[in-house]
Chains A and B, each alone.
Chain A
Amino acid sequence: MILSKFYRNTFLVLLLSLVLSACATQKAVKIDSKIQGDVYTGTDSVKYLADGVKDRIFFATNESVLTTASRDTLRKQAAWLRKNSDITVVLEGHCDERGTREYNLALGERRANAAKDYLMTYGVASDRISVISYGKERPVDSGSSPLAWSKNRRSVTVRAN
């Protein structure tokens, strides 16, 4: 009686370990490679200010925190701005549609300012950067999917001159 149990359990353990290892790879395939931690990581809709300098950074829902990738992009933007000291920029803050209109205006402003502060710590003078929020008024993707929304949660650096 105990022995049969023993065999059964051994079999189950082996089966389980196989299944788990299989599942691990399955999961990796299912996750949308363009979103990580609710932040868009793709390049669709991304434009370039200069070679290798992306013009925008992305955010998680309701957040204005800068990700590692965002900081990398901003550092590159700061370097480019330091090199071209006569260029001024406007940072546009945007949100996805899943929020009320007025709050999204404020959140867009917060996002753009997060980017501005970071650029300033990397040597860009504040009088070269102005900030504007469009809330959810100017989405880049009008769809209603998590992917579309993640593309809209952004701060875009636009040349002003």
Chain B
Amino acid sequence: MHRSLVISFGFHIVIVILTVLSLPFIAKKPIDLPPLISIELIQITDKTNIPFAPKAKKIIEKIKKEKDTLVSEQAPPKKVKKENPKAVPSPDQKMKKIDEAKSEAIPLPEKKAKKVKMTEEKKQNPTKEDTKVKQVSEFEKEEIIDPNKIAALIDKSKKEIAETTKTTNRVTQSQDKNMNISGLTLSEEDALKAQIFGCWSIPLGLPYNENLLVKIKLKLQPDGSVIKTEILDHARMNKPGQGFYKVLAESALRAIQLCQPLRVPTTGYERWKDLQLNFDAREMLEG
């Protein structure tokens, strides 16, 4: 009687010990798990809902376009002349940035060079760049640039400045390159933009997948009031199927009327008395 009890007890102990020993947390050391990374599964659609994504797309497309348009720009000199006025603000701004960067304690040569390279390409593009792109955070811009270009730029950071001005001149014949004399400074442009942003009621009914760009030329008084407005591409107003263009143009004109007197710089009337505002509703409606 006793014996069987002892044997049974013994076997039970053996089983418990075996279980205990064979359990993984004894044999192995606890694994150091990396901290959990939470991943959000975003539905991938052709047009995302992230407001800045289309801008990024635009930047990428523009860079691609630049490569294509570089050759064509240099061919017809007439077109090139038109380039001049549009290109003016960019090099100045960039020059400013470059100067600022130079004066920084530790300027990152790659950054500077990149900026310059970007503007160089942009200048040769016939359509004006979206200034917003320039104001996009440095971080975003850098992401988009081809790393190969970056490597090439690192070596030639200082030389770039001179070279870019040279190349742009070849394309754009004559330029006034001194900044602060032609074009609006960043802060002046920002001030004007902020003002008009507040006045422009974008018609919500516009089709969000069409070209929603309307360019309006203004003649201004020194105090910022508008003498004359002119809608560029006026023919499009009455084109069939482009009825929304008229609505878009009218909303832009209303914005200008509402915002009078415009927030113009206090000096240099000569340089901004003729102003062109490019209203693009696409970003607001797509996002």
Contacts and interface: CB of A to CB of B under 8 A. Distances in A.
Interface of A: 5-6, 9-10, 13-14
Contacts of B23: 9, 13
B167 interface: no
15 contacts: A5-B26, A6-B20, A6-B26, A9-B20, A9-B23, A9-B25, A9-B26, A10-B16, A10-B17, A10-B20, A13-B16, A13-B19, A13-B20, A13-B23, A14-B16
Interface residues of B, number: 7
B276 to A, nearest CB: 53
Given A5-B26, A10-B17, 6 more contacts: A6-B20, A6-B26, A9-B23, A9-B25, A13-B19, A13-B20
A138 to B, nearest CB: 37
A83 to B, nearest CB: 58
A9 B20 CA distance: 6
Nearest to B25: A9
A106 B272 CA distance: 70
Contacts of B17: 10
A13 B15 CA distance: 11
Contacts of B25: 9
Contacts of B19: 13
Contacts of A13: 16, 19-20, 23
Contacts of A6: 20, 26
Dominant SS at the B interface?
Answer: helix
B58 to A, nearest CB: 40
Interface in B16-43: 16-17, 19-20, 23, 25-26
A14 B15 CA distance: 12
Contacts of B26: 5-6, 9
A9 B17 CA distance: 10
Task: Indicate the member of B16, B17, B20, B26 with the most A CB atoms within 10 Å.
Answer: B20
A13 B19 CA distance: 8
A50 B26 CA distance: 64
A18 B25 CA distance: 19
Nearest to A7: B20
A29 to B, nearest CB: 28
A5 B25 CA distance: 10
Contacts of A9: 20, 23, 25-26
A10 B20 CA distance: 6
A55 B25 CA distance: 56
Contacts of A14: 16
Nearest to A17: B19
A135 to B, nearest CB: 31
A5 B20 CA distance: 10
In order of increasing CB-CB distance, the 4 nearest A-B pairs are A9-B20, A10-B20, A9-B26, A13-B20
A14 B20 CA distance: 9
A13 to B, nearest CB: 6
A21 B151 CA distance: 66
B24 to A, nearest CB: 10
A16 to B, nearest CB: 10
A8 to B, nearest CB: 9
A5 B26 CA distance: 8
A120 B64 CA distance: 70
A70 to B, nearest CB: 38
A1 to B, nearest CB: 12
A5 B16 CA distance: 14
Contacts of A10: 16-17, 20
Nearest to B23: A9
Contacts of B16: 10, 13-14
Nearest to B19: A13
A43 to B, nearest CB: 44
Interface string B2-25: 000000000000001101100101
Interface string B244-269: 00000000000000000000000000
B22 to A, nearest CB: 10
A73 to B, nearest CB: 44
Contacts of A5: 26
